[in-house]
Amino acid sequence: MKLELKNIGKDFGSKKIFRGIHAALASGQSLAITGPNGSGKTTLVKIICGLIRPSSGTLTFTSEEKILEREEVFRHIGLVGPYLELYEELSALENMEFFGQMRRVPDLSARISELMKLLNLSGREDDLVKTYSSGMRQRLKYVFALLSEPQILILDEPTSNLDRNGIDAVYTIMENQKRDKMLIIATNDEKDLIYGDMQIAINA
């Protein structure tokens, strides 16, 4: 899997958010996006995920030398961000089963069990999401992002709302992801930044 950003820019109305973003990334590599609050880190993450379109420039994903369409790219991406919402009136397990079936995750029950253990959530599968603390919800988002073993893992403020154990689990996830897949993080935390092989610094 390869990702190439060429001269990416984004405007909202007459306001220019950023211009001239370039990057090239392949499986086994990682990218850190940094910049002051309001500089556009989350906007760039959403462009990479296909949630919004750039105002200028091109973004290309390729797999085995074939350019992937937007719908194909979606199947390869796992995303964790503060703006993602879960179904609060459903249990964690009901949420995961719904998502896992959409993604056609093989051996779904075993995969859920494995990830709930990794993120220290075992035993809470049947609890409604609305009863979860903010830190638990953040860890649950990682379970969702990892269910389909994505080739591209994108983390916006990866350690936000996490305690020490949660942070350690996330660092393990990041280290494993960048070993042979693609990792993209948006953060200003110096401890997170060591997991980025290259950086894009966005100026406000």
DSSP 105-125: -TTHHHHHHHHHHHTT-TT-T
Q: What is the mean pLDDT of the chain?
A: 93
Output the pLDDT for position 64: 86
- pLDDT digits 0-9 by tens, 145-158: 999 999 999 999 99
Output the pLDDT for position 47: 95
DSSP conformation class of 83: T
- pLDDT digits 0-9 by tens, 37-70: 888 999 999 999 999 999 999 999 999 889 998 8
170: Cα within 13 Å, side-chain hemisphere: 28
pTM, two decimal places: 0.93
User: Cα(39)–Cα(57) distance, rounded to whole angstroms?
Assistant: 18
97: Cα within 13 Å, side-chain hemisphere: 8
Domain boundaries, the chain: 1-76+151-161+184-204
Instruction: Provide the CATH topology of domain 1-76+151-161+184-204.
Output: Rossmann fold (3.40.50)
Output the pLDDT for position 204: 57
Output the pLDDT for position 103: 84
Instruction: Give 72's pLDDT tier (boundaries 50, 70, 90).
Output: confident
